[in-house]
Structure 1
Amino acid sequence: MPPRAVRTLVVEKKPMILTAEGAGTIQARYVNNIGFLVSGRLLTRNVDVGAFVKNDDLLASLDPVDYKSRLTAAESQVTSAQAALDQAAGEESRFKELLKNGFTPQARYDQALKDLQTAQAGVVGAKANLKLAQDQLRYTDLHSPTEGVVTQTGANVGQVVQAGEMVIQLSSFSDRDGVFSVPVLYISAAKVGMAVKVWLQAKPTEIVQGVVREIAPNADPITGTYTVKVTLVDPPADMFIGAVVVGEVDTEGHEVVTVPATAILQTGDKPEVWVVSADNVVKKVPVTVDRYDTSTVTISSGIVQGDRIVVAGVNSLNDGQKVAIEPTDAP
């Protein structure tokens, strides 16, 4: 009786491609909490949440009455200090001439010189106070330090705000990240610099390339997930801050063999395949299956590179049976 003809393929191990997907949101990479450098009552707020602002746009202003009064007082101090300096300079000049001609003692001239130096210091101090008053009045107007979108407001008109208190939260629109919450089961596979494909949940055909920029070192105490930030490369305008996106990562896992599902023989607790020896004799070999798909099976161990296995008619063979090889293409 001639040997039974069987279809076979030669095992070729390849890295298993692991794909992971997750939903996230678009967030600004740089978020500025902007506040006044001085305290006061909020007189105007010119922007609301969602407004786009440009560099140096007026965002809000404080009631300037008190600061104008301080400026007036500082200007008066400078005028008074300058008058005192002029008088002291004249006194010093006169006593210097008298001392030179021997009509006044050295001590009197020294006192005039001291008065002159004190007056000079008074002018310097008064001008510094004037500059401070001018700056404080200027600080009652809050200008945008950069362009961006308003994502939060911290004060309303009529409210008294303190120096440094957040009045406007401004998020940069030019630099945006996709921010994802990754379960602890998968965070070990995430690496800084890893490539990520990102698309809008509502527009899956518009794909943007991204790179993992930051991985949180600690899990969120509430969700137990790790925050992963992905820098987006040239994101479109419709990937606005707050938009829901999907990220996909493909990574290489350990080496596996993908075979047709028909190659698996299930006669006991462990799946097996028929391995054809060099003299065309078949032998059952147990294998470890990683994944069952519709028409293929992924095997992680049990067979090695170069093994020839039977891929059809596996239920019609016996251990030690001689077969005739009819090769087939790998899946």
Structure 2
Amino acid sequence: MLGRMGTLAAGMVAASFGLILGGCSEEKPAPPPPRLVRTIVVEEKPLVLSAEGAGTIQARYVNNIGFLVSGRVLTRNVDVGASVKKGDLLASLDPVDYNSRLTAAQSQVTSAQAALDQAAGEESRFKQLLANGFTPQARYDQALKDLQTAQAGVVGAKANLKLAQDQLGYTQLHAPTEGVVTQTGANVGQVVQAGEMVVQLSSFNDRDGVFSISVIYIGAAKVGMPVKVWMQAKPSVTVQGVVREISPNADPVTGTYTVKVTLQDPPADMFIGAVVVGEVSNQGREVVTVPASAILQTGDTPEVWLVSADNSVKKVPVKVDRFNTDTVTISSGLSKGDRIVTAGVNALNDGQKVTVEKADAQ
């Protein structure tokens, strides 16, 4: 009996030992493979600053045209929006008074000419008498003086006649240049003074795009900066322009600054008053632009995952210049050639090994 128990105990010990050996021979589970990540290789590129704004087409030269004489408006031949050519009749004054002045000036010339003819005859006669010794020198001197006075009277009368003729001509107001009427200042029957604006004429040949720019962007505007301008109603109608003038003072009502852009050969579609859109693009300093999904924001400072040469990742703080719709502009923290993770940034740990799925230049 004792022998059988010993044999059983030995068997149990052997079985236990076998189980121990069997347990020691089991393999450990394999470590997980490196996480597959998508990356880009960043590049430094000039920062392109662009802005758009709506404006209107306005004439570069605007003339306030008025009569050179005063009087009552007899006719006004144009209204706002009318296109005129050089020499077209714009308005006229009642010429009755100026016709009377012209008649009086013509009479003065006739009278002065008659006085001159008489004085010339007297001077010639006394000159002959003086030569023959039949009249004193003083009498001839008086005749000569009368002749010179008569000559001056003719010159003055003719000058008054020319003035009266000019004033009569001034009662008709003609266009000094071609353009479009943008404003009127007097109606038929109204008495106007010399120089008072009757018609405002805007030159159609030289046109500007006039824009109101916010104080946020006015600092970037420079005279001579190229601007692309197109019709708001017809985007296919485009021209190039150059910033000609920047207002130094803001509008007291809107707080915006007026910027005038000279248009280069604007088409007829860009008529005065048409609404246009202007776009300015300007290259700035070198920056790095990355997808917005690459930014890891776990604290006060934004970070990105930088992929090292051994395919491990580490956090790198960056300075963000501005956030766009789908991208982020970074001003410092990255250099050209750095590879960063662009997807799944919240699932990584420092030092973790990764497998690069895709590496594109940004």
TM-score exceeds 0.5: yes
Q: TM-score range by the shorter chain?
A: over 0.9
> Offset at 1:23?
1.3
Query: Is residue 42 of structure 2 the alignment partner of residue 11 of structure 1?
Result: yes
Query: Is residue 104 of structure 2 the alignment partner of residue 59 of structure 1?
Result: no
Query: Is residue 247 of structure 2 the alignment partner of residue 211 of structure 1?
Result: no
Q: Which amino acid aligns with 2:102?
A: L
Q: Which amino acid aligns with 2:112?
A: A
Task: Give the aligned partner of residue 288 of structure 2.
Answer: 257
Q: Pick from 203, 224, 227: which aligns with 1:172?
A: 203
Check 1:145–1:243 CA distance in 2 against 1; reply closer, same or farther (3 A cut): same
- Three-state SS of the structure 2 residue aligned to 1:303 is coil
- The CA deviation string for residues 89-123 of structure 1, in whole angstroms up to 9 with x for no partner, is 11111111111111111111111111111111111
Query: Is residue 271 of structure 2 the alignment partner of residue 244 of structure 1?
Result: no
> Offset at 1:6?
4.5
Q: Pick from 67, 70, 75: which aligns with 1:39?
A: 70
Q: Pick from 78, 81, 93: which aligns with 2:124?
A: 93
Q: Pick from 154, 167, 170: which aligns with 1:139?
A: 170
Matches within 5 A, 1:1-331: 6-278=37-309, 280-293=311-324, 295-323=326-354, 328-331=359-362
- Three-state SS of the structure 1 residue aligned to 2:270 is coil
- The CA deviation string for residues 116-136 of structure 1, in whole angstroms up to 9 with x for no partner, is 111111111111111101111
Inter-partner Cα distance in structure 1 for 2:307 and 2:35: 12
Q: Which amino acid aligns with 1:259?
A: V
Cα pair 1:28 1:173 within 8 Å, conserved: yes
Check 1:261–1:220 CA distance in 2 against 1; reply closer, same or farther (3 A cut): closer
> Offset at 1:187?
0.6
Inter-partner Cα distance in structure 2 for 1:187 and 1:141: 46
- Three-state SS of the structure 1 residue aligned to 2:48 is strand
Which structure dedicates a bigger proportion of its chain to helix? 2
Inter-partner Cα distance in structure 1 for 2:324 and 2:130: 110
Segment drifting more, 168-177 vs 306-315: 306-315
Segment drifting more, 274-283 vs 136-145: 274-283
Inter-partner Cα distance in structure 2 for 1:15 and 1:256: 6
User: Which residues of structure 1 form unaligned runs of 5+?
Assistant: none
**Two-structure CA RMSD over aligned residues (Å):** 1.9
Q: Which amino acid aligns with 1:161?
A: V
Inter-partner Cα distance in structure 1 for 2:326 and 2:257: 36
Inter-partner Cα distance in structure 2 for 1:68 and 1:51: 30
Segment drifting more, 263-272 vs 175-184: 263-272
> Offset at 1:270?
2.2
Inter-partner Cα distance in structure 2 for 1:186 and 1:29: 24
Cα pair 1:213 1:231 within 8 Å, conserved: yes
Segment drifting more, 109-118 vs 298-307: 298-307
The normalised TM-score by structure 1 is 0.93
Segment drifting more, 194-203 vs 102-111: 194-203
Q: Identity, % of aligned pairs? A: 84
Inter-partner Cα distance in structure 2 for 1:226 and 1:316: 49
The normalised TM-score by structure 2 is 0.86
Inter-partner Cα distance in structure 1 for 2:269 and 2:137: 82
Cα pair 1:259 1:330 within 8 Å, conserved: no
- Three-state SS of the structure 1 residue aligned to 2:235 is strand
- Three-state SS of the structure 2 residue aligned to 1:328 is strand
Segment drifting more, 36-45 vs 202-211: 202-211
Inter-partner Cα distance in structure 1 for 2:186 and 2:36: 83
